[in-house]
Structure 1
């Protein structure tokens, strides 16, 4: 219905007649209460959720719908909204609908359960509003626009939910194919040495067995971390379990793992100051492995890769991984810590690279309250730097 028809409908409403937008505002608490009781029946995940969690953003959605009902709308805008389309920069898309989808996904609601919440909200509003008085002509306009607004919210929530699931799946598969390669390669190298040597050197064999156990344990930890890592694509932070950690010892462990795989490369670890702090050793090991492997893949093979720990600051420790070679282009540096981004099309030898390692490293830095940055020039080479608070 056009704006002219909408205004004409306003003129024909009885004196004192309550329009739908005003009804929603005046009865918000009752509407939310009825919807909350419905939501509690939709998912096993809701059993442990508080009323506050169940009500997240429904109040905001109702407020946006009320404002939308009172806003001017062209015929073209009405047509777009009837198809679930609308202003992609609008506040509903930016806050309420998308955030509601992200939280429902993190809380264990499937997409059908989330959509049913909107159906319940629609039914609750229409039932309570139509019960208060007979409908007049202007109410038909309000109902039409109300349904368009709900359809718009559903479309935006479903789109965000689906995109999040796809990103999560890609992240999951990327970690399997990317982060597991280093510890599994180290384990494979050790097993092949044992096969060739036939156990003729007991001392060396004992060392290799120890390294095999360490590498396979690391692979297991990465698999255990996968579910936490995929949470990042749901809009929630990666949880960390902090304990007293020696970054110097951790860096040497990761360097040894990579040396066994890349025996022709030099990997140096340099320590200055106090390398200790409260961190999640498993996740920092994953980040260091990603950065060192990235430096090996893209760096000049004739020059060493250097991991430097600077612990002079009592509040922070900096860990830098440096390699020589071709610099990362400035435009790539701006997005290099986003998922599925890489500094070059392919590494030395034409090996494909997913570009996931730097994204995961950023997530791990964020989870520790730290930062990660890159500096890359033709003269100085490329340096990735973690800055981590000690506690």
Structure 2
């Protein structure tokens, strides 16, 4: 029985998907945890749509128009290929990587089909139809990817403006008070200026780190023997300046010295302390713990507040991620650059460590950072 290419694709779907997954895994962005389901994304639906397209009768005129790309990709914004482009953009893939996925898919199907149908005369015509359908899927995916990238950029700029406006307004207001030379308010105003300046400094610092990582650079590390208890206390003080209502309790166990970039690790601890303060219940202490083990040092921070939805945990530390739902309850900030936790993850990875998070109503939200102690085990 003769098998057409459309039938071949559906009959060999799993074999094609295995090759797709292997290729996609080779391009996963640094630090991103992606399951088989994540890697395959909408690949099966894309292939099924392509198979259906190939099986559909097509006139010579329709084929010519399609080969010229005259079919409007915008009319298929909810196709599997378009959804794939949107989700890949959200997971940190670049546009060349998405294009490479489709190129690899084309090669995989063509190779498997040629092996199966090497002696069949009608093979070329069906491969042309496959190429046309795949090009259409690629166009839909790229269009949606580009739209999502533009939306992410505009959202980022809007949130940046919002986050910088508040501390700038505080500094301006404080400047007016100082200009009036009100001695009684000087101490209060000075503290307000310092807190606002620290907030803006943290935003700019995270922006610089994002730019470095986005351009493909590594986070430079300058390691030396440091005491992480001292680093942690400095980070708590820095976070407390921005969130004076927060109450931290530090617990230290064992030897917490190791070879780290102290400034970078302070950035990790400070971001986590600020994050905990931002989403912590006012009546609960924020518990910070350092535990020294023979091969590593573990930093933990636990706060009680809105539970992070389970569906958000796997992407919480992706760049520009904002958690909705219960994690943004009334009275708390609704805007965030979504950079703090991403920077935490990248600095931790640069030190050869890992960061995890869990969140439950009964036990609160716990971030855990594991850092190898020995300099020789760290990634340069």
Q: Whole-Å Cα distance in 2 between the matches of residues 139 and 374 of structure 1?
A: 52
Correspondence 1:369-388 to 2 at 5 A: 369-388=352-371
**Matching of residue 289 in structure 1 with residue 270 in structure 2:** yes
What is the CA-CA distance between 1:242 and the residue it aligns to? 0.9
**Matching of residue 228 in structure 1 with residue 209 in structure 2:** no
What is the CA-CA distance between 1:149 and the residue it aligns to? 3.8
Distance 1:385 1:329, change over 3 A: same
371-380 or 324-333, larger mean C-alpha shift: 324-333
Distance 1:162 1:280, change over 3 A: farther
Distance 1:166 1:325, change over 3 A: closer
Q: Whole-Å Cα distance in 1 between the matches of residues 229 and 169 of structure 2?
A: 23
Q: Does the 8 Å CA contact 2:243/2:274 hold for their aligned counterparts?
A: no
**Matching of residue 160 in structure 1 with residue 129 in structure 2:** no
Q: Does the 8 Å CA contact 1:316/1:389 hold for their aligned counterparts?
A: yes
* Match of residue 75 from structure 1: 55
Q: Which runs of 5+ in 1 are unaligned?
A: 7-70, 94-98, 107-113, 119-135
Q: Whole-Å Cα distance in 2 between the matches of residues 293 and 385 of structure 1?
A: 15
RMSD of the TM alignment (CA)? Answer: 5.5
What is the CA-CA distance between 1:103 and the residue it aligns to? 6.1
Q: Whole-Å Cα distance in 2 between the matches of residues 185 and 253 of structure 1?
A: 26
Q: Whole-Å Cα distance in 2 between the matches of residues 229 and 176 of structure 1?
A: 21
Q: Deviations over 1:333-356 (max 9, x none)?
A: 455445222462534624424482
Q: Deviations over 1:178-230 (max 9, x none)?
A: 5x699879978987896788578999999999888766654442332241354
Q: Deviations over 1:116-140 (max 9, x none)?
A: xx9xxxxxxxxxxxxxxxxx99866
What is the aligned length? 288
* Match of residue 361 from structure 1: 344
* Match of residue 23 from structure 1: none
Distance 1:154 1:293, change over 3 A: same
* Match of residue 25 from structure 2: none
**Matching of residue 102 in structure 1 with residue 85 in structure 2:** no
Distance 1:159 1:196, change over 3 A: same
**Matching of residue 315 in structure 1 with residue 295 in structure 2:** yes
Residue from 341, 353, 364 that aligns with 2:323: 341
Residue from 243, 248, 251 that aligns with 1:267: 248
Q: Does the 8 Å CA contact 1:320/1:385 hold for their aligned counterparts?
A: yes
Q: Whole-Å Cα distance in 1 between the matches of residues 174 and 308 of structure 2?
A: 34
Q: Whole-Å Cα distance in 1 between the matches of residues 57 and 277 of structure 2?
A: 54
Secondary structure at 2:282 match in 1: coil
What is the CA-CA distance between 1:291 and the residue it aligns to? 2.2
Distance 1:229 1:326, change over 3 A: same
* Match of residue 260 from structure 2: 278
Q: Whole-Å Cα distance in 1 between the matches of residues 80 and 212 of structure 2?
A: 30
Q: Does the 8 Å CA contact 1:319/1:385 hold for their aligned counterparts?
A: yes
What is the CA-CA distance between 1:301 and the residue it aligns to? 1.0
Correspondence 1:319-330 to 2 at 5 A: 319-325=299-305, 327-328=307-308, 330=310
Q: Which has the larger radius of gyration?
A: 1
Q: Which runs of 5+ in 2 are unaligned?
A: 7-50, 86-90, 104-120
* Match of residue 240 from structure 1: 219
Q: Whole-Å Cα distance in 1 between the matches of residues 174 and 295 of structure 2?
A: 39
Q: Whole-Å Cα distance in 2 between the matches of residues 184 and 385 of structure 1?
A: 33
